[in-house]
Structure formats: C-alpha cells, structure tokens
Amino acid sequence: MSVTQQILIIVVVVAGTMITRFLPFLIFSRDKETPQYIKYLGYVLPPAVFGLLVVYALRNVSFTSFESFLPELLAVGLIVILHYWKKNMLISIAGGTLCYMILIQFVF
C-alpha cells in the first residue's frame, strides 16, 4: 500500500467510527421531540449495555480446561466481594487487577 492508500484507509476507519457515534444524534435532533420508543430504549439500554461490555471484555477467555479460566474467575469473584464490602470503585478495580496479575505471573 502506498502512503496515500494508507491515509485513505485511516480516513475510512475514522469516518466509520464517527458514523456509529454521531448517527443517533443526527437522526434525533433536538428540534424534534424524541420518539417515545427511543426514549424508552435510552432509559433501559444502559444496564444491558454494561452486561454486554462485561461479556465483551471477557470474550477471549478459554473454557477448554478449569485452569484456563480460573484466574479470571477468581479475580472477578474478588471484585464482587470487594465491591459489596467496601463499595469503593478504585479498591475493587485495583484489588481485582492486582489479584489477576499475581495469579497469571506467579501461580498459573
């Protein structure tokens, strides 16, 4: 690929990304009242999207053997316990991440 072609590919990727971000705002501009159905979606979607993001972040975890997903399982378990106990986002995130790093660097 020539440099011009590379730039064109990057421009296309930027355009595609921006379409996915701007489209809802372009369709439902502020002049018109947002349809009831879209308002409903705007209200109920976030919890479902957070669920989707959790699965998305863990999508490459392998379930071929128990050991292959044990670090993820233990770290997520620790996050749940920490979060219900301390209710502090930073403690839960730092605790879970450190636990995962120690597990994959020294245990598994």
Partner 1 sequence: MSFDNHIATLKYAFPKTIPILAGFMFLGISYGIYMNSLGFGPAYAILMSIFIFAGSMEFVAGSLLLGPFSPLSAFFLTLMINARHLFYGIAMLDKFKGSGRKKPYLIYGMCDESFVINSTTDVPSYINKGWFMFYVTFLNQIYWVGGTTLGSLFSSAISFNTDGLEFVMVALFVVIFLDQWMKERYHVSSVIGITASVLCLVLFGPDNFIIPAMILILLALSSIKKILEKREVIS
Q: Taking phi first (over 0 means left), then psi (-120 to 50 degrees means alpha), and beta for anything else, what does residue 85 get?
A: alpha
Burial environment of residue 22 by CB neighbours within 10 A (0 to 12, 13 to 18, 19 or more): exposed
Residue window 79-108: x/- pattern of binding to partner 1, with contact defined by CB under 8 A: xx--xx--x-xx-xx--xx--xx-xxx---
Would you count residue 39 as binding partner 1 (CB under 8 A)? yes
Size, binding site for partner 1 by CB under 8 A: 67
Would you count residue 73 as binding partner 1 (CB under 8 A)? no
Nearer to partner 1, 26 or 65 (CB): 26
Would you count residue 32 as binding partner 1 (CB under 8 A)? no
Helix axes 89-102, 66-86, angle to 10 degrees: 160
Q: Is the Cα dihedral 24, 27, 33, 34 positive or negative? A: negative
The single residue listed with the structure tokens 């050991």 is 67
Neighbours of 50 (CB within 10 A): 9
Minimum CB distance to partner 1, residue 47 (Å):
4
Q: Which residues bind partner 1 (CB under 8 A)?
A: 1, 5-6, 8-10, 12-25, 28, 30, 34, 37-60, 71-72, 75-76, 79-80, 83-84, 87, 89-90, 92-93, 96-97, 100-101, 103-105
